[in-house]
Chains A and B, each alone.
Chain A
Amino acid sequence: MNKVEVAETTELDAVELRAAGRSNRLGAWVRWFVRTPRVLFSGGFILLLLFIAITAPALTHADPNTIQSQIRFLGPSSRAYLGTDQFGRDMYARMLYGARLSMSVSASSVTIAMVLGVLMGMSAAFFGFPVDILLMRLTDAILCFPPILLAIFVVAFLGSSLQNIIIVIGILYIPQFARIAYSSSLAVKENDYILAAEAIGSGPMRILLRGILPNITAPILVQMSLSASTAILIEAGLSFLGLGPPANVPSWGRSIQDASRFMGQHPWGVILPSIIITMAVLAFNIFGDALRDRLDPRLQK
């Protein structure tokens, strides 16, 4: 009787302690977020963009594709908060829906790259020869081409649907994640607890996902933020070249391209989307940098 009671209390304590530890860590993250100015601004802007991307239709009554030729080239006013473009389309609505495109392209492509890249990198490290040679050579092959060239190439031949763009950018970023996961996993794999897991008969999937993965998340998170910024750049670049998603999907890059022909008379049409793209890319870069400073123990002195 006594023994059981003791066991119960210690188990309870352990659960409580773990919960307390978790909320403490969460608290530390929240404090870091709020008290580091650059994190607050960059992270805040990213959250704002995500919020806009999700709720775009609720934030404006204007349709981003409605052409109103009588109100072309308006400056910011109460009629159209951010003015209108060369077709009299509402810029505020176009920017909101552009955020939706940018965020969905970068979130989905980075997720594809992260899942495939990390799986490839971890398996290469864990299984060793010949899996590692095969997988890592495959990623090297992707690195042979300048990224945007490969994207142009694929999109031009397969068509520039949203789906294709996401898949192409996703594949382009596999090598970065694979390399990071590979080198981090090589170090983690040597730990005794991996040996212990093998000794008690854990399968490879379990070791990869429960033993190795939790210990290599830090560099992967940093890479996700940095890749998200370049994914936005590639999508905007493709749209700028006219190889982006179809014309009825509002896109920041396309807005710049459209407005650049009328830049002499209406520079605002170029300047506004330029500022927004740059801020979005900057936010992801700053956030990634700050995240690395916090997560990389070598930098904490």
Chain B
Amino acid sequence: MIATAVFLFLHLLPGDPALTILGGIDATPDSAAIALVHQRLGLDRPLYVQYGEWMGNLVRLNLGTSFTSGTSVSSELARRLPRTFMLIVPAEAIAIIFGIPLGIAAARLRRTMWDPVISAVALLGFSTPVFVSGLLLVLAFSLKLHWLPSGGFVSPSENFGEFVKSAIMPVVTLSLGPMATTMRMTRSSVLEQLGADYVRTARSKGVTEIRVLYRHVLRNALLPVVTIVGLHVGFMFAGSVLVEFLFNWPGVNAYLLNSIGGRDYPVVQGIVLVIAAIFILINFLTDLSFAILDPRIRYE
């Protein structure tokens, strides 16, 4: 269904790819040349024929070939998707590894001077646009300190050290927003659980405060935190568009931006379809993991 929507949307929009291929908007190619390009790309056939062919290929995981470069969209995506995940996965890991302990700390420090400070930093963390934090990192670490490259991509199989160096700033940039939301979520979830009856029972039994927190409260408090991994997916893809652009990282999103400029239908269709599919899959897995982790939902 998404596939159909994407297809119709693209083909009903104004703008002719043949004009782009034949050299920009300023040039005025003659109609014979346009017809030739249309014929070669199969754009002269009725819409339903194009649609049928596209859906047929889709079932065989063939996303067609690029109008402009003539390369296969599937293989180009297979090359670029891992690069985008090289940013998203470590960023999510950092967000969780730092976000959860910080959230617990903020909850434990409630009603001290640190709580508002931590909360304010977290709020700042997800209010800062990724291109702002990214540029400030570039300014500090590559233009002033000359520690890290300001952009580019080195394949990890060629030179792993250089790869790590080129990935540090994009990954950190991408992780800041999710880290802040993880922290806020953990904090409010822990505080909510601390008010529950079983905590009072445990305390009155003489269980130490540390044990109450780590053995009793965290087990319940971290359940909702798991779902934010799913909520982050949208943010991560949105953020990686800007981060890839900023750090000149040749991932899926850079490919998408180029193809949109060139009205390369098969590429845009393919990418949008794949990203939407990943998006839906991860949201589904999040719902599923919630049911596995929380027996109360399973039994309802």
Contact = CB atoms under 8 A, between A and B. Distances in A.
Interface of A: 141, 144-149, 152-153, 156-158, 229, 233, 236-237, 240-241, 253, 256, 260, 263-264, 267, 270-271, 274, 277-278, 281-282, 285-286, 289
Counting contact residues on chain B (CB < 8 A from A), the size range is 35 or more
B131 interface: yes
6 contacts: A148-B238, A152-B241, A256-B135, A263-B143, A264-B143, A277-B129
Given A274-B136, A278-B127, 17 more contacts: A145-B275, A146-B238, A146-B275, A146-B279, A147-B234, A148-B238, A149-B237, A149-B241, A153-B268, A156-B261, A157-B15, A240-B129, A240-B245, A241-B242, A241-B245, A267-B139, A270-B139
Contacts of B241: 148-149, 152, 237, 241
Interface of B: 2, 5, 10, 13-15, 123-124, 126-132, 135-136, 138-139, 143, 233-235, 237-238, 241-242, 245, 256-257, 260-261, 263, 268, 272, 275-276, 279-280
A294 B234 CA distance: 29
Contacts of B235: 146
8 tightest CB-CB pairs across the interface, nearest first?
A156-B260, A146-B237, A148-B238, A282-B127, A274-B132, A281-B127, A157-B13, A146-B234
Nearest to A285: B127
Contacts of A271: 136, 139
Contacts of A236: 129, 131
Q: Give the most central of A149, A264, A278, A289: most B CB within 10 Å.
A: A149
A145 B235 CA distance: 11
SS class of chain B's interface: helix, strand, loop or mixed?
helix
B275 to A, nearest CB: 6
A233 B235 CA distance: 12
A157 B11 CA distance: 11
A236 B129 CA distance: 8
B124 A240 contact: no
Contacts of B123: 282, 285-286, 289
Contacts of A263: 135, 138-139, 143
A158 B276 contact: no
A278 B124 contact: yes
Q: Give the most central of B5, B129, B136, B138: most A CB within 10 Å.
A: B129
Q: Give the most central of B135, B136, B241: most A CB within 10 Å.
A: B135
Given A145-B272, A281-B129, A270 B135 contact: yes
A48 B132 CA distance: 22
Contacts of B128: 278, 281
Q: Give the most central of A144, A158, A264: most B CB within 10 Å.
A: A144
B195 to A, nearest CB: 9
Contacts of B13: 157-158
Contacts of A270: 135-136, 139
